[in-house]
Structure 1
Amino acid sequence: MSPYVFARSDGPTLGVELELNLVDAGTMALRSGATSILEALPPGLEGSVKPELFQCYVEINTGICRDVDEVGHDLAVKIAAIERLAVDRGMALFWSGTHPFSPWQAQEVTPTERYLGLVDLLQETARRLITFGLHVHVGLDSGDKAIMICDRILPYLPVLLALSANSPFWQGRDTGLHSHRSKVMETLPTSGLPPLMRNWSEYTWLLNHMVETGFITTIREIWWDVRPHHNFGTVEVRICDMPPTLRHALGLTALVQCLVEELSEEIDRGIYQSDCHPFLVRQNKWRAARYGMNAHLVDPRSFRVVPVRRTIHELVDRLRDRARDLGCLAHLELARELADEPTGSVRQLETYRQTNDLAEVVRRMVAMSRLSSST
């Protein structure tokens, strides 16, 4: 029997993961402070705040949530608690897909068997992985459906990347991209857009093959932009940069949940999926990474080039009834608002043009995202 049994979910439940930079409160440089924060977690947060590959960031996870409001309440409490712990230790939380100036070469690996093994296996591609993302899980009722949604959601992934773009700087340089994080992630051997798979059986065969041939040691080494998660019974959308605030994260979460639920219902009704060539998705992903919300993406149906802002407005209009049923209409409307506001990448670039100071870029973004009154 395959070890990859899909633990079905009842309804489109949500789970959200935030990867947040830890920066020094004075210099705004990355700081290896994860262990000190994890050792001081208050009761009830154990398991919700986790170490990551490097000591300069933490991952904050929700529990299983019924709707976006519950996600917001769950995360707000945890983020505020971690902000206070960080301040007590001379640190702050920075919401961004990359850090503007701290060198990846200086970051300390979290000394666990898994992470040390990853660095030994992947070498510099792992050591350069100082990136931070937003991951959204949506519950589904079968593994086959999770595989089909991984395919059907592909045309929307560049839209989500453009809306979340928040990583214009790398190693002290303006990269010319609005999402440099997405390009760093693509250097990993099992990252980027997922391969086309027909069903859960083919997916589990692929995983077993990769493990048996020594290409990976665990399913956790699959870093596709969207992937099934059999233990949680979800599809996990991973393409987003870490956006600049919790408000942004909730708008993106609502958009993802509505998209997945619409695709799920289309599958249940037997609606045929119009083919979207994978090369078009790759092309659009590049445009989203390069231009952010100024991107013009190729519409997979008409093959015309369309401004991504228009695409998001039309998508929100289409999903409004779905959002009303899911109880997240206000949060979905946030996605429309965010499409008309400066993205995190634009805010970072504008601050740098004003100040010529990358530390000030971090400082202003930290202030923008702050939740707790004691920071």
Structure 2
Amino acid sequence: MTAPLLLKGFEVEMFTGRPDGTVVGCADDVARALPGFMLEPDRRNLEYATPPAAEYRQQLGQLLEPRHTLRAWLRQRDLTLLPGSCLSLGDSRSFERSDPTNSYHSLIERTYGTRVVTASVHLNFGIADPERLMAACRLMRCEGALLLALSACSPFLDGRVTGAHSQRWRQFPITPPRIPLFLHHGHYIQWVEEQLRLGAMHNVRHLWCSVRPNGRCRPYEIDRVEVRICDLLDDPLELLAVAGFCELRLLQLLADPERHDPLWASTMDADALAALADRNDQAASRQSLAARLHHWRDGHVLTAAQWLRQSLNDVQGMAESLDLEGWLQPLHSILRNGNRSMRWLRSHGEGESIRAIVRREATALECRERELHQHLCQGTPVTACFAPTTSLATP
């Protein structure tokens, strides 16, 4: 390796339900019974997080182990983990509170309703220097549409096709609705303090956007960039592939900020970049890899898939030097075969029902986890070159 890898960790949200795809909430029961699982406001989805670690194989184990424990608990109740980032088979009309006594949850239900009842994954990368961290947030904000295009897996809601590849991002309330591209750490602090005074944010956590700084005492003490735009990447190897791509882009930025920080390397100013990034995110939510995006460098138009291929080619040398090339392989498969939403919509167009798709994919995910867990336990090499044998690989 030519440079140290960043510390990274993941926050994973997932829906629970019956093997036939029916959503059944139990997050409050899980949180009481099993350590490490956290409540979302609606009990139909739950969350767990992995501890910070730099190595990808270690993170693979940390992604799998909580699910291994959780699945044993769920199996006793004839429940499983469901794929997708929205309530594919409903019901989005009603809120199912996980903690009726939580006043912040009450505010969320009253203000946003079931728009927030989604499942996703947040990627955290440790960067200790606040100004370098703000540059990382700028780059990830301007390239967030690419990550959404790779991860899109919410084309269904309430048993119907929504017309979007990421219904989750279409419905999730960006809060506050207009978020600038932060020029430096001081700008971020000043802006957050103003939003709290105005009531646009109810606390420092109430910044719901594609990418944000995070840390022990935000906005003052920050030490990681939190990428929040991705739909649920439930296959751990696909998640690690997206994380590897993000990390390589961040390492490029840290090595050469004048070339990779949009604030300095773009022909546009900060306001124009923020607006461009938001438009790109919405375009990716509608058409994912086929979306026509505007590049942050000079605004030229290309599809998300074209942009990703160019970027993967650009990071290839660094990936090889850091032994990350194998972990990126699922991205090439996604670019060839389509992301989860695209594959599901193809299957639905060929006559497969939404319930059948959810049921099939839930079974495939459990098989996939068992397969990967076995390889880890046996100590055999597990990289992204290890091709999936389940339906997660192809439609």
TM band (smaller chain): 0.7 to 0.9
Q: Distance in 2 between matches of 1:160 and 1:100?
A: 21
Q: Aligned match of 1:221 in 156, 181, 206?
A: 206
> For the Cα contact (< 8 Å) 1:97–1:167, is it kept in 2?
yes
Quote the residue 1:84 is aligned against. Answer: 72
Residues 1:197 and 2:185 are matched in the alignment? no
Inter-CA distance 216–298: structure 2 relative to 1 (3 Å threshold): closer
Which digits, 9 at most, give the CA deviation of each residue in 1:219-247, with x for residues without a partner? 11111100000227100111111125222
Q: Kindly provide the amino acid, as one letter, of the partner of residue 31 in structure 1.
A: V
Residues 1:209 and 2:194 are matched in the alignment? yes
Q: Aligned match of 1:18 in 12, 27, 33?
A: 12
Cα deviation for residue 302 of structure 1 reads 5.1
Q: Aligned match of 1:36 in 9, 16, 29?
A: 29
Q: Aligned match of 1:300 in 296, 317, 323?
A: 296
Provide TM-score, normalisation by structure 1.
0.86
Q: Kindly provide the amino acid, as one letter, of the partner of residue 176 in structure 2.
A: T
Q: Aligned match of 2:281 in 279, 282, 285?
A: 285
Inter-CA distance 262–126: structure 2 relative to 1 (3 Å threshold): farther
Cα deviation for residue 164 of structure 1 reads 0.7
Quote the residue 1:61 is aligned against. Answer: 49
Which 10-residue stretch deviates more, 321-330 or 161-170? 321-330
Quote the residue 1:166 is aligned against. Answer: 153
Q: Distance in 2 between matches of 1:257 and 1:57?
A: 28
Q: Distance in 2 between matches of 1:270 and 1:181?
A: 29
Which digits, 9 at most, give the CA deviation of each residue in 1:48-104, with x for residues without a partner? x21111111111211011122221121112222222222222211113111212112
Which 10-residue stretch deviates more, 12-21 or 290-299? 290-299
Inter-CA distance 285–88: structure 2 relative to 1 (3 Å threshold): same
For residue 60 of structure 1, give the secondary structure of its aligned residue in structure 2: strand
Q: Displaced runs of 4+ in structure 1, greater than 4 A? A: 268-271
Quote the residue 2:229 is aligned against. Answer: 239
Provide TM-score, normalisation by structure 2.
0.82
Q: Distance in 1 between matches of 2:256 and 2:111?
A: 42
Q: Which runs of 5+ in 2 are unaligned?
A: 217-221, 374-395
The 5 Å alignment of 1:1-375 reads 12-26=6-20, 28-41=21-34, 46-47=35-36, 49-111=37-99, 113-114=101-102, 116-120=103-107, 123-185=110-172, 187-190=173-176, 194-231=179-216, 233-267=223-257, 272-276=264-268, 277-278=272-273, 279-301=275-297, 303-370=299-366, 371-372=369-370
Inter-CA distance 269–189: structure 2 relative to 1 (3 Å threshold): closer
Inter-CA distance 244–340: structure 2 relative to 1 (3 Å threshold): farther
Paired-residue identity, %: 20
Q: Distance in 2 between matches of 1:14 and 1:24?
A: 32
> For the Cα contact (< 8 Å) 1:316–1:336, is it kept in 2?
no
Q: Kindly provide the amino acid, as one letter, of the partner of residue 192 in structure 2.
A: L
Q: Distance in 2 between matches of 1:324 and 1:14?
A: 20
> For the Cα contact (< 8 Å) 2:266–2:298, is it kept in 1?
no
> For the Cα contact (< 8 Å) 2:15–2:81, is it kept in 1?
yes
Q: How many equivalent residue pairs?
A: 356
> For the Cα contact (< 8 Å) 1:134–1:238, is it kept in 2?
yes
For residue 224 of structure 1, give the secondary structure of its aligned residue in structure 2: coil
Q: Distance in 2 between matches of 1:67 and 1:57?
A: 28
Which digits, 9 at most, give the CA deviation of each residue in 1:8-31, with x for residues without a partner? xx96210111111111234x2211
**Aligned residues: CA RMSD:** 2.5
